Structure 1
Amino acid sequence: MKTILTFCMVLILGTFSLIAQDNLQDLQLTNTDTIPDFQTKAEKLKISGTIYESDGITPAKDVILYIEQADENGDFELRKKNDEKYVFHHGLIKTDADGKYTFYTFIPGNDRRYNQLKQIFPTVKVPEQKQQILPSFLFESDPMLTRKCLKRMAKKDDLTRILKPKKQDGMLVVQKDIVLQEQIAITK
């Protein structure tokens, strides 16, 4: 049941994803973005990293990374703009020539009503390819991330999605590198 709820939630949120819009090339993106309300949150978080091509070595230039997350209470605040719904706490970057990116965000809450973990939902868009929905980023300190859950993730070799932020200069900081999945280019 939990798996079905999680799947449904990701599916629903994916329909609101800004990255799904066709006009991404119109946006003036940089490799750094700040999530709305960042300054007002208690558990500020800086996520930085490098996005690599599928070989795991070559930095991926001009890749768009979109993240969305719940607020500190585990609720997804939906807004509407130009008749399109979107998650308010979201960010969008485009990697630089070295594949680097940074988000200034906060630790999301978990929705205890549905036994949901604290999660950040990432999606990437590589030029000339379809978007890739990545496994959500989880947090080592989340009390809902049980041993049983960790054991299941270890069996799937999926522990790299767990973020382990450290306190630096009054802010939580974490490095999260991403290796893209290999895809066939879209033909026009």
Structure 2
Amino acid sequence: MKRLCALFILVLTTIWVFTFSIEKRVGGPCEGCEAIFENSIPFEKLPSFTKLPEVTWKGKKPLGINGIVYKSDGKTPAPNVVLYVYHTNEAGIYPKKGDEKGWAKRHGYIRAWLKTDEKGEYKFVTLRPGIYPDRGEPAHIHITLKEPGLNEYYIDEFVFSDDPLLTTEKRNKLENRGGSGIIMKLVDVGSMFKGERNIYLGKNIPDYPTK
């Protein structure tokens, strides 16, 4: 009888651990979001600042984007949030080297992973992406997030307010997932252009926990 009770308790404990260790699924369908796991560097060792491939201070000035990621209360900085970003080159193409694996076959090699620091801050430097050859969409930078305890999900792409393709109609269709992704102003600081975007976890994200 004691052995049966012990087995019963073990089963209940296993079920409890399994149930509460599963990440809550949020954000809805997210094609390609699993690319956030394709980096060889463990999440805990990711920097809060990174430079994407092809950045150079020779020729065109690079673009630096920085901001703070806030928790769902909109005011508490969120540390240890992983960001995965990727975008086209200046010709509007996702460039490949020919040996890509996984989602790099579609996303190309202009991509990077970083993680917010203890102040919730992040920063990356890249070259401003170009518009797709068919000019169907404004130039943009894709972004996927992975915060502790939740699955990965996408938020609104970084777009630029001075982009002629970012029309009023396009602006009105933005979902504002994670807050607005529009970089309102690029500042020329001499060696580069700088833009800012703060991110608000859970904002307009389906099934996001309320507590």
Q: Please, what TM-score do these two structures have when normalized by structure 1?
A: 0.78
**What is the aligned-residue identity percentage?**
25
| RMSD of Structure 2 on Structure 1 (CA) | 2.7
Q: Which residue in the other structure is 2:54 paired with?
A: 37
**Segments ≥4 residues shifted beyond 4 Å:** 21-24, 79-82, 156-159
CA deviation after TM superposition for structure 1 residue 161, in Å: 1.5
- Structure 2 vs 1, CA of residues 59 and 41 (structure 1 numbering), >3 Å: closer, same or farther? farther
* 1:112-145 superposed Cα distances (whole Å, 9 cap, x missing partner): 3151210000111011210120111111121211
**Is there any run of 5+ residues in structure 1 with no aligned partner, and where?**
1-9
Q: Which residue in the other structure is 1:19 paired with?
A: 36
CA deviation after TM superposition for structure 1 residue 20, in Å: 3.8
CA contact (8 A) 2:83 2:143 kept: yes
- Structure 2 vs 1, CA of residues 79 and 85 (structure 1 numbering), >3 Å: closer, same or farther? farther
Is residue 65 from structure 1 mapped to residue 86 from structure 2 by the alignment?
A: no
Q: Which residue in the other structure is 1:162 paired with?
A: 182
CA contact (8 A) 2:43 2:115 kept: no
User: 65, 82, 93: which is aligned to 1:75?
Assistant: 93
The number of residue pairs the alignment matches comes to 170
Q: Distance in 1 between matches of 2:155 and 2:176?
A: 14
Q: Distance in 2 between matches of 1:126 and 1:26?
A: 10
**Is there any run of 5+ residues in structure 2 with no aligned partner, and where?**
1-29
Q: Which residue in the other structure is 2:127 paired with?
A: 106
CA deviation after TM superposition for structure 1 residue 73, in Å: 0.7
- Structure 2 vs 1, CA of residues 36 and 21 (structure 1 numbering), >3 Å: closer, same or farther? closer
Is residue 88 from structure 1 mapped to residue 88 from structure 2 by the alignment?
A: no
Q: Which residue in the other structure is 1:119 paired with?
A: 140
CA contact (8 A) 2:65 2:194 kept: yes
CA deviation after TM superposition for structure 1 residue 98, in Å: 0.5
CA contact (8 A) 2:82 2:113 kept: yes
Q: Please, what TM-score do these two structures have when normalized by structure 2?
A: 0.70
CA contact (8 A) 1:41 1:106 kept: no
